[in-house]
Amino acid sequence: MGNCGTREESTAVVAHSQAQQQHMFPLHGKNTPSDRKCNRSISDLSDPSTPRIIEDSRNISLYTNLIAFTLFELETITKSFRSDYVLGEGGFGTVYKGYIDENVRVGLKSLPVAVKVLNKDGHQGHREWLTEVNFLGQLRHPNLVKLIGYCCEDDHRLLVYEFMFRGSLENHLFRKTAAPLSWATRMMIALGAAKGLAFLHNAERPVIYRDFKTSNILLDSDYTAKLSDFGLAKVGPQGDETHVSTRVMGTYGYAAPEYVMTGHLTARSDVYSFGVVLLELLTGRKAVDKTRPSKEQSLVDWVRPKLSDKRKLLQIIDPRLESQYSIRAAQKACSLAYYCLSQNPKARPLMSDVVETLEPLQGSGPSERFPPPSAAHRRLPGSNAGCRPTPGVKYPPGAAAAVPPRRVR
Ligand SMILES: Nc1ncnc2c1ncn2[C@@H]1O[C@H](COP(=O)(O)OP(=O)(O)OP(=O)(O)O)[C@@H](O)[C@H]1O
Ligand SMILES: [Mg+2]
């Protein structure tokens, strides 16, 4: 972390990405001045703006809302990290289910938890662990997963989160055995995740999440969406800065093209990733799917021309949704995705605008029934009608002109 990929390295990543599935892609290089600036030291703690960044794990105890667990306590609640307690596995390590209560430590509230254990042989390490503790130790919002505590003993690094009953959005959308999510649930998840990102972007010191994807959106028992995994999060540009220069990190298929090419990170990079996830919700297809015909492997490349054509637009909607949505709601959601995916970052909406656009789509049932594709063709003439600016969204001046509906590649 904290290294800046050169333009050549970034280009190499793009080329390499064509041969890869969705994985985090770190590049190697040296720390940039901006990177160092963003990792604020303990001496900055007098600054009242958030989030404060602590570089030394001994000072984490300053986050009084976090519990410092011992390794023994976490071994106890996961039955020594037994395989039947495994919830999943990611780049950081394995995630186990556990339960904390008075038996673990006097005074602990009874709570199911998820315990994430750093894989010492993996690509992530103390830095990602500390970034997660730094951000989630301070940021609290109904659409961010709650960090309950941590463990830092010898070279062991663990994180303890609130247990998210329904696991990841990725599993619900793409696991063959999972029942398809309804239109209403998908719109609710999109709104919840958008609110989480908007909260980060609107913080006193804005935070760029940098790894927005379906596997990092966790679902509570009532399908409330919460963002997890802040290991790649960055404090956004400050003062006169227009961007943060950083080593390119993220996940193929989700990272904004200008960020991959230049390493220049802005909140608009998250908006692009949001557009990709919205497309996944709308189509039921993965951002990158190597099992599909070559033209359809990149969801954005396959869908973008269709988003600018009202007649084709309805063909991309997940067929499993059948007639659960209105044409108008589908058009609005597709139009929103189109603008989030603008090549020009300035043409993308703010996350607060995205929230405003999604709000009226809640409960957007089939009052206006989805006609079969042939009928849709007859009733909706006009090739460019699909991506008019969505009412309610405050697009930057010239946004529509900057990305005309036909100039989509
Ligand atoms: N708080 C939680 N509650 C319930 N399940 C969780 C929780 N956190 C993680 N999981 C489960 O563990 C799995 C792995 O999560 P993790 O964040 O480590 O990896 P990932 O998101 O799949 O990949 P990446 O390393 O790219 O982020 C998730 O998909 C989810 O099923
Ligand atoms: Mg994750």
pLDDT digits (tens, 9 = 90+) for 222-231: 999 999 988 8
164 CB under 6 A from ligand 1?
Answer: yes
280 CB under 6 A from ligand 1?
Answer: no
User: What share of the chain has pLDDT > 70, as a percent?
Assistant: 73
> Which residues touch 397 (CB under 8 Å, ≥6 apart)?
none
> Which residue's alpha carbon is nearest to atom 9 within ligand 1?
95
> Which single residue is written with the structure tokens 């993996």?
122
Task: Count other Cβ atoms within 10 Å, centred on residue 77.
Answer: 21
396 CB under 6 A from ligand 1?
Answer: no
Among the listed residues 44, 84, 155, 211, the single catalytic one is 211
CB–CB of 77/111 below 8 Å? no
Q: Ligand 1 centroid to 38 CA: how many Å?
A: 26
CA distance linking residue 286 with residue 22, whole number of Å? 9
pLDDT in tens, 127-183: 889 989 988 988 999 999 999 999 999 999 999 999 999 999 999 999 988 899 999
Residue 176 assigned to a binding site:
no
pLDDT of the residue at 95: 97
Would the pLDDT of 248 be above 90? no
pLDDT of the residue at 367: 56
pLDDT in tens, 89-124: 988 999 999 999 999 999 999 999 999 999 998 888
Per mean pLDDT, which of 42-56, 166-180, 238-252 is the most reliable? Answer: 166-180
Would the pLDDT of 32 be above 70? no
Grouping H, G, I as helix, E, B as strand and the rest as coil, residue 148 is: strand
pLDDT of the residue at 314: 85
pLDDT of the residue at 243: 82
pLDDT in tens, 349-380: 999 999 999 999 997 666 544 444 443 333 32
Which of 21, 85, 95 to mutate for ligand 1's pocket (most ligand atoms within 8 Å of CB)? 95
Q: What is the DSSP letter of 298?
A: B
pLDDT of the residue at 376: 37
pLDDT in tens, 170-205: 999 999 888 999 999 999 999 999 999 999 999 988
| Buried b or exposed e, range 132-145, using 16+ CB within 10 angstroms | bbbbbbbbeeebbb
Tell whether domain 7-162 is in CATH 3.40.50.300: no
275 CB under 6 A from ligand 1?
Answer: no
> Average model confidence (pLDDT) for the chain?
79
Does pTM surpass 0.75?
yes
Domains of the chain: which residue ranges? 7-162, 169-382
Let me know if 211 is a catalytic residue: yes
Confidence class of residue 28 from pLDDT cuts 50, 70 and 90?
very low
| Buried b or exposed e, range 100-118, using 16+ CB within 10 angstroms | beeebeeebeeeebbbbbb
Specify the CATH number of the domain 169-382.
Answer: 1.10.510.10
In this structure, which ligand is nearest to the CA of 226?
1
User: What share of the chain has pLDDT > 90, as a percent?
Assistant: 57
CB–CB of 270/201 below 8 Å? yes
pLDDT of the residue at 30: 33
Q: Tell me whether strands 156-162 and 111-118 are parallel, antiparallel or unpaired.
A: antiparallel
CA distance linking residue 102 with residue 283, whole number of Å? 46
Q: Ligand 2 centroid to 329 CA: how many Å?
A: 30
163 CB under 6 A from ligand 1?
Answer: yes
Q: What is the atom index within ligand 1 of the atom nearest the CA of 95? A: 12
CA distance linking residue 173 with residue 215, whole number of Å? 10
Q: What is the mean pLDDT of residues 52-76?
A: 78
